[in-house]
Structure 1
Amino acid sequence: MAASEICNLMERNGQLEKAALHVERPVYQIEDLNEATLYGKPHTTYGQVCRKVLCSCDCREYVSDTVPILKWLPEYNWRSDIIGDILSGITVAVMHIPQGMAYGMLGNLPPIVGIYMAFFPVLIYFFFGTSRHASIGTFAIVCLMTGKIVTKHSNAEFLSNGTLVLQNGTDPNGPIYTNMEVATAVTFTVALIQIVMYVFRLGIITNLLSETLVNGFTCASAFHVFFSQLKDLLGIPIRKRAGYFKLVKTLQDVVLALPEANRTVLLISFVFSIVMYLNNEYLKPWIAKRTRIPMPIELIAVIAGTLVSYCFNLSEDQGVNIINYIPTGLPAPTVPTLSLVKDIFLECFVVMIISYTVEISMAFLLAQKGRYEVDANQELLAMSLSNFTGSFFSCMPISASLSRSLIQYNVGGITQIASIISCFLLLFVLMWIGPIFEPLPKCVLASIIVVALKGMLMQFQDLRKYWKLSKWDAFVWIVTFFTTVLVDIDIGLLAGVIISLFSLLVRGNRPYTCLLGVLPSTDLYLDIKRYKGVQEIHGIKIFHYTGSLNFSSKTLFRTLLYKRVGFDPIKVLSKRARQGETHNYDESADMLIKCVIIDFSALSYIDPAGVDQLRQICNVYKQLNIEVYFTGCSGPVYEVLMKCNVHENRTNQFIIFPTVHDAVLFAQAMLFTVKKET
């Protein structure tokens, strides 16, 4: 083999220019190249696998991977990092108080539950999590989905004086479940699913949720959260709707109940919403330019609302709904109601998917910002253990909050020590400060939730972007959004997944194909429709195929090939057969084609059905004296061809070349030889 390459690189005006490239080598068929380069399929024996596993079994490393704090805490720089973590922890704790109380109500539970969620699960995540900045605790959509399950399966509730009251139509002799029992059962079931997924390394299942699907789903879910707050936001007596089309029914109830709206509640909601909105839009960006510590507007709203309610006795004088009783101290550990697990399992699976997807997305985003690694499966373990612990202490399923996590990162948090600082402050609230917020109007918490939803509600504008980039992605967004809004949350997620998979199937079976032409005096072969400077080679058609060739796409492959080449050889053979004498057939311009080259450099996979289709195509073209060559087959594709015994008979052998240029030169040489002989 003679080979030389000249590549002169010259630096001119700061730009690197390629002067010349010349390559000289023989024309290879794939068998010749494999023999010359000692090609061989890599083999891995069971013994090698076992030795690799045994050699990699380091107990110390396994423990440090399972409990990441053992790895990063000894390397923690207390002198330089602790100040940032303390400031970050204090700031996040301040955010946890109003958000926790507000989102606790979303789950149809006492507001104090949101504070519990910012304490118990966070302590566990501190030891097992791999994200340094994810703020674990309440998340609006997860709390809303939990609240939906609570409403569906609970049939009793405790009053503030400890009296158990059954809901209308509840059989006193049947099973009785309170809101808290259902919520903790949901948390336990979510933890159970997550630990199973961790054991079997199934974190990849969240890849089924594309960006467009998650965007449309969260935007639609924000509408569910918004409508759930209208009762407290307007001070109107409407019942909680369940089942399909509940948003439409809720909107109807709101319109009918508007004349009964509490004017004091309307005024409070309007004032607090406007103040928080103006803070987020104008004051917050102004402060961010001057300091990393944000204005704790939600906490200020909670304190102000509590003071106004207490001073003017809004509950008794104006009929404003307030929080009322807030217990002090830590809740006693209680075993979740395990008998509910079988009834809520499927609903909890949906909750788990959403909570984990949001958390891992947030973790990867922050890891990219902070330039460190996050282990997706370890996050499953951390969340499962956090939820498992939380299920014994009156917690709903946890997730990561975008706003709190970004604040924890931007204020200067370095590690999850910031979360521990936050936990200590929240412990102080749980032990002594909680009852101070008993006069807080619920409309203030509803205002906090609604203002916080602005970002998710504005995701509706992303539809224009998706429409410009991909009509299929826009279609997935539209179906997910409207199904979630009009039907229900879990049905919307299911519809989104189905449409996403369907779009993958359709796009996978609509591969990109083209005819290639040569750029004169080069070995470059480009799409003749896109590159006007290339030329087709006389007597040769070069068909480029991208995708996979399997049982589902083999017919489409054949159709596209015949369409690109310009004629259907089966129809030509049928017409010849009807004429009776093949040698008298009047050849058209299409029959001037003597060689078809199929470029498989972008073929990702082929199965036996695809190989059989290739064999049939070769046989059909051979009857028309047209040669078929294949180029660019990857190692796995070539090995499948060998497994299918395509090389057993020389007359049926596929002729394969490493590159298109090899095949073209070989075809031109063969055509020249045939022409010379004739």
Structure 2
Amino acid sequence: MLRKDGKSTKLKNMLGSSESFWSSDTIPDQSGSNIPLVRTDRTSIYNPRTSHRVSFTNDIPYFHRIDKHNEEKVCEYERKASELTLPVSYNLKKLFQRVIPFSRWFSRYRVKAWFIGDLLSGISVGLLTIPLSLAFAVCGGQPPIHGLYTSLVSTVLYCLLGTTKHLSYGASAFTSLLIANGISHNETHEVDSDSGCIPTCSRELHVTTLTFVSGIVLISMGAFHLSFIRIYISEHVMNGFRAGTALHLFTILLTLILGIDPPIHHGSLSLVYKCKVIIENIHETHTASVITGLATLALLMPFKVINSLYSRHLIPIEFVAIAASIWLSFWLELESSHNLRLINDYPFTLPKPVLPSFSLIPVVAKDAVAVALVTFAVSISLGRENSKKHNETYHPHQETIVLGSCDLLLSFLGTFAASGVWEQTVVQEKTWGQTQAAGLIAAILCLTALLCAENLLPLVPKAVLGAVLIANLGCYLEFFWKYCFACKKNKYEVWAGIITFAAVCILDIDIGLGVGVLFSILLTLHRLQRPSNAIFGHIPNTENYADLSVEKTAKEIVGIKIIKTFDSIYYGNIDFLLSWIKLKVNSYLQSGNLGSDNELYSEEDKYHMLLESTQFLELDEHALRRINHTALYRRKISKQTADVHTVILDCGSVSFVDDEGVCALIYLSEQYQRMGVSFIIASCSSTVLKSLQERGYFKSTSQSFAFRSIHDAVLYALQQAAERNQSPQGSEYIPEANGETLTECDTVEIKADPNISTNTGLCHVEGGVSNSHQRTGVKSRNQRIIEYETAL
């Protein structure tokens, strides 16, 4: 029968109010209950949420009986029924909002709550974007106005299509360095003779074509959902990459502050050549440029510290420095009087729309792919970091398409590629930015700077731009003080960052990032091949077990080795797992049961077992350790007889077992069987039990049982040990208070069945009695208490 509560009422209102639907349209199931049958002959249905009566496009499936065990099915059915009854206009609206997120947040924009924060954030980001865009363009060998144009177009486009409210796009250090690298690779290439281009036109055409190809690559990655490769780019690799990029950028900025114009090298060992050229041309240092750069740094650094302490109220000191330098250059005529180098050697006219040269696509393809992959890694890493911090939903595939769309549009406008900008994103996050409206306000400021570009921007000194970028390299150098001195946390992560940093410094930023990602993947494979294992012991007076090396109160049960593996058992780590078990367990086996050592151990294994054979269990003499409330033989165990009779493998952390893993477990069980040692598997998930059963583990071994917990396996092992010794000399039989004991008829054949409830200790019991009696017997055995006494 249907429940008369809110859930059934809601479902009834959604599917219609016909009484025949709830009374007569039912079918009986095996238990005799009536299951409501959703009519498939109805042509339409009314949805009160949208006030529309919509025709069915396909049949609604049968619905299961509603009771307390089917809450998830009810919710799923409601969702499917709601989707079937939504009008076409509603679906198109949702699709439009998903493709263009601007329509979603703009329609819900709360002016009173969000506008002030967005206004302050937009002004702060815009005033920072203007000097950074100029500086990044100069570092990439591009006209400074192209940097502003790139930031303006990419910011507006991301506000319309982006899914993260704190991410800021524009000209960045990564794209400027990669564009400069691409130009140096192709500057000797001849352009078509009929195009009539001069060398400057040839350089712009190369940049335009490179940006075009980069956009095509990014859009293809997003369309084919290749953005999944982001999972292989760890945070530590990106921090090492940023630190190496900062070092490359610092050498270029140093030439701007020194006022020298040496040839810039790109490619492998470019950082070494840059430092060599700077040292060789140090005698050409321009005094006015050095003084201007140092004065700008002296102005910027104290305010950068203040901004880091008071993040809610940032002072746009970079824009103040640019404005002050423009005013001083104009008032004091620094270029003519002191020969101070300005950025007026570049044209300050707006770039004209151009078409990429398809004949240059094979030439720039390699550099374009590098630009696409690096900007993808930077932007996706930055967006993922912000979405986690603010608990937002992040869509990497759409973000990749948005990034490619920015590059594609910028290529037709004659500028270079864009990416996520760390400095601007940090400022937008700290200054109360609520939505992407802050980006629109920043774009308005960039547009204002473009309108004033022809008269004011040529007066900016290059040394000031270099000092502005050097003052903002702090976020790039985060790797050094956050990870290089954190070796105690995780040495693998630190090594991934260090190798990426070294590769970027030596090989260049594009190849260095690839080397860092590859090294990180190899580290992950290495860790997967060497799973973490531990020997567990029993915590007295409880049914819990813990790692002996971590939990000091845990005691190892004499004769039983409990092994815990913290990874899946598959072809990649079975060799290491078998070697580790041999090393930790076989040294405690009775020498008479070892058989031929040459079949199982190498010389190294025997050496390690010889060392561990001198270590004995530290157990209290004459101490009773209570595990449960039943009976067991209490024996006096000496050093000579303290041998392992049972090995328990705890598979609680194992997610899957493949064919080779099952074969390895069968091999291990057979080897221990020859030694007279029982091998038991415990705490297996239903997936692991199903894999073991399908691959014939329980048919191929003498052990045909698996336990739901370690404690059940320990009880069984102690019982079997007691039955094998049949009241030995020096032992005393302790009956239980109610007279119930573990008899031989209680030990029946066990078979793994993942469908049995987890309340039972054994997975499945086969015997002459019914299932209910079997489960009761198992449960009573689980509740028994075992007392044991051990002595050194």
TM-score, normalized by the shorter chain, greater than 0.5: yes
2:416 is matched with which residue?
396
Instruction: Give me the TM-score of the superposition, normalised by structure 1.
Output: 0.82
Residue 250 of structure 1: CA displacement? Answer: 1.5
Aligned residue number for residue 264 of structure 1: 288
Unaligned runs of 5+ in 1: 1-47, 168-176, 579-586
- How many angstroms apart in 1 are the aligned matches of 2:672 and 2:657? 21
Contact 2:423 2:475 in 1 (8 A): no
Tell me the secondary structure at the aligned position of residue 651 of structure 2: strand
The 1-side partners of 2:108 and 2:707 are apart by 55
Cα contact 1:103–1:139 (8 A) shared by 2 = yes
Q: Is 1:199 the equivalent of 2:223?
A: yes
1:190-222 residue CA offsets vs partner (Å, 9 max, x unmatched): 322222221232323122122221111111110
Of 182, 186, 210, 2:234 maps to 210
Query: 2:675 & 2:526 partners in 1: Cα distance?
Result: 33
Cα deviation code 1:479-529 (max 9, x no counterpart): 222222133222321221222112112222222212222122321111223
Report the CA distance shift for 1:409/1:475 in structure 2 as closer, same or farther (over 3 A).
closer
Q: Is the 8 A contact 2:588 2:644 kept in 1?
A: no
The change in CA–CA distance for 1:261 and 1:330 in structure 2 (over 3 A counts) is: closer
The residue correspondences of 1:168-183 to structure 2 (distance < 5 A) are: 178-183=202-207
SS in 2 for 1:521: coil
Mapped to 2, the partners of 1:635 and 1:354 lie a distance apart of 42
Aligned to 1:80: 113
- One-letter amino acid of the counterpart of residue 134, structure 1: L
Deviates further, 220-229 or 497-506: 497-506
> 1:630 touches 1:654 (CA, 8 Å); kept in 2?
no
Q: Report Cα offsets for 1:169-202 as digits up to 9, x if no partner.
A: xxxxxxxx73322323332233222222212323
The answer to whether structure 1 residue 670 and structure 2 residue 690 are counterparts is no
Which AA in structure 2 matches 1:297?
I
Q: Deviations over 1:574-613 (max 9, x none)?
A: 15999xxxxxxxx995883221111111113321011101
Deviation at 1:456, TM superposition (A): 2.2
Q: Who is 2:596 aligned against?
A: 574
The correspondence for 1:221, drawn from 245, 250, 262, is 245
Counterpart selection for 1:435 from 455, 466, 470: 455
Letter in 2 for 1:255: I
- The reply to whether residue 148 of structure 1 matches residue 181 of structure 2 is yes
Amino acid at match of 1:90: I
Q: CA deviation at 1:293?
A: 4.4
Instruction: Report the equivalent of 1:69.
Output: 102
| Cα pair distance change 1:603/1:343, threshold 3 Å | farther
CA contact (8 A) 2:145 2:350 kept: no
Aligned partner of residue 197 in structure 1, secondary structure? helix
Q: Deviations over 1:245-285 (max 9, x none)?
A: 12112211111211121111122112112211232234x45
Paired with 1:654 and 1:144, the residues of 2 have a C-alpha distance of 64
For 1:488 and 1:367, locate their aligned partners in 2 and report how far apart those are by CA, in whole Å. 29
Partner in structure 1 of residue 254 of structure 2: 230
User: Which is bigger in relative contact order (C-alpha 8 A, separation at least 6)?
Assistant: 1
CA offset digits 1:633-674 (Å, max 9, x no partner) = 12222222223133445x555431111111111122222222
- The structural deviation recorded for 1:329 is 6.5
1:184–1:568 distance in 2 versus 1, CA, 3 Å:
farther
2:292, 2:264 → 1: CA distance? 23
Give the CA deviation at 1:112.
Answer: 0.6
Tell me what 1:31 maps to: none
Structure 1 position 629, deviation (Å): 0.7
Q: Secondary structure, in 3 states, of the residue corresponding to 2:327?
A: helix
Q: Kindly tell me: are residues 435 and 394 of structure 1, through their superposed partners in 2, closer, same or farther at Cα, counting changes over 3 Å?
A: farther
Q: Distance in 2 between matches of 1:130 and 1:312?
A: 47
1:134 to 149, 160, 167: 167
Residue pair 1:542, 1:599 contacting (<8 A) in 2 also: yes
Compute the displacement of 1:475 (Å). 2.0
More helix, by proportion? 1
Shift of 1:119: 1.2
Q: Which residue of 2 aligns with 1:39?
A: none
Q: Is the 8 A contact 2:230 2:380 kept in 1?
A: no
| CA contact 1:96–1:118 (8 Å) conserved in 2 | yes
Alignment match, 1:244 = 268
Moved more, 587-596 or 549-558: 587-596
Out of 98, 115, 122, the position equivalent to 2:131 is 98
- Larger mean Cα displacement after TM superposition, 68-77 or 78-87: 78-87
CA contact (8 A) 1:206 1:353 kept: no
Partner of 1:608: 659
Is the alpha carbon distance of 1:529 and 1:80 closer, same or farther for their aligned partners in structure 2, counting shifts above 3 Å?
closer
| Preserved CA contact (<8 Å) 2:256 2:463 | yes
Within a 5 Å distance, the mapping from 1:8-87 to structure 2 comes to 58-87=91-120
Residues 1:521 and 2:554 aligned together: no
Q: Could you tell me which residue of structure 1 aligns to residue 768 of structure 2? A: none
Structure 2 equivalent of residue 542 of structure 1: 562
In the alignment, which residue of structure 2 is the partner of 1:45?
none
Q: Which residue of 1 aligns with 2:42?
A: none
Partner Cα distance (2:575, 2:284) in 1:
65
Cα gap change, 1:611 to 1:183, in 2 (>3 Å): same
1:312 to partner: Cα distance: 3.8
Q: Residues 272-283 of structure 1: matches in 2 within 5 Å?
A: 272-282=296-306
Map residues 548-627 of structure 1 onto 2, 5 A cutoff: 548-567=568-587, 572-574=594-596, 592-627=643-678
Contact 1:325–1:435 under 8 Å retained in 2: no
C-alpha distance after superposition, 1:24-83 (max 9, x if no partner): xxxxxxxxxxxxxxxxxxxxxxxx9xx999969944423321211222211111343233
The residue number in structure 2 matching 1:295 is 315
Aligned to 1:502: 522
Q: What code does the residue aligned with 1:617 have?
A: L
Task: Say if 2:715 is the partner of 1:661.
Answer: no
Partners of 2:415 and 2:641 lie apart in 1 by: 73
Change (3 A) 1:321 1:495: same
Match of 1:643 in 2: 694
Shift of 1:558: 0.9
SS in 2 for 1:603: coil
Q: Match for residue 210 of structure 2? A: 186
Does the 8 Å CA contact 2:173/2:249 hold for their aligned counterparts?
yes
Determine what percentage of the aligned residue pairs are the same residue.
Answer: 25
Distance 1:479 1:52, change over 3 A: farther
| Residue in structure 1 matched with residue 626 of structure 2 by the alignment | none
Contact 1:128–1:381 at 8 Å: present in 2 too? no
Summarize deviations over 1:368-396 as a string: whole Å, max 9, x none.
55554332222222222222212212332
Using the alignment, how far apart are the partners of 2:317 and 2:554 within structure 1? Answer: 64
Q: From the superposition, tell whether residues 79 and 576 of structure 1 become closer, same or farther in structure 2 (CA, over 3 Å).
A: closer
Q: Distance in 1 between matches of 2:708 and 2:558?
A: 22
What is the Cα deviation at residue 110 of structure 1?
0.5
Which structure has the greater CA radius of gyration?
2
> For the Cα contact (< 8 Å) 1:516–1:543, is it kept in 2?
yes
Q: 2:426 aligns with which of 402, 406, 409?
A: 406
Question: Residue 561 of structure 2: SS of its match in structure 1?
Answer: strand
Q: Using a 3 Å threshold, how does the CA distance of structure 1 residues 254 and 52 change in structure 2: closer, same or farther?
A: farther
Q: Within 5 Å, which residues of 2 pair with 1:360-509?
A: 360-368=380-388, 370-457=390-477, 459-509=479-529
Q: CA deviation at 1:124?
A: 1.5
**Structure 2 unaligned runs (5+)?**
1-76, 601-637, 729-792
**Amino acid in structure 2 at the alignment position of 1:659:** S
> In the alignment, what sits opposite 1:308?
328
Aligned length: 604
Distance in 1, Cα, partners of 2:496 & 2:116: 45
| Alpha carbons 1:245, 1:487 under 8 Å: kept | yes
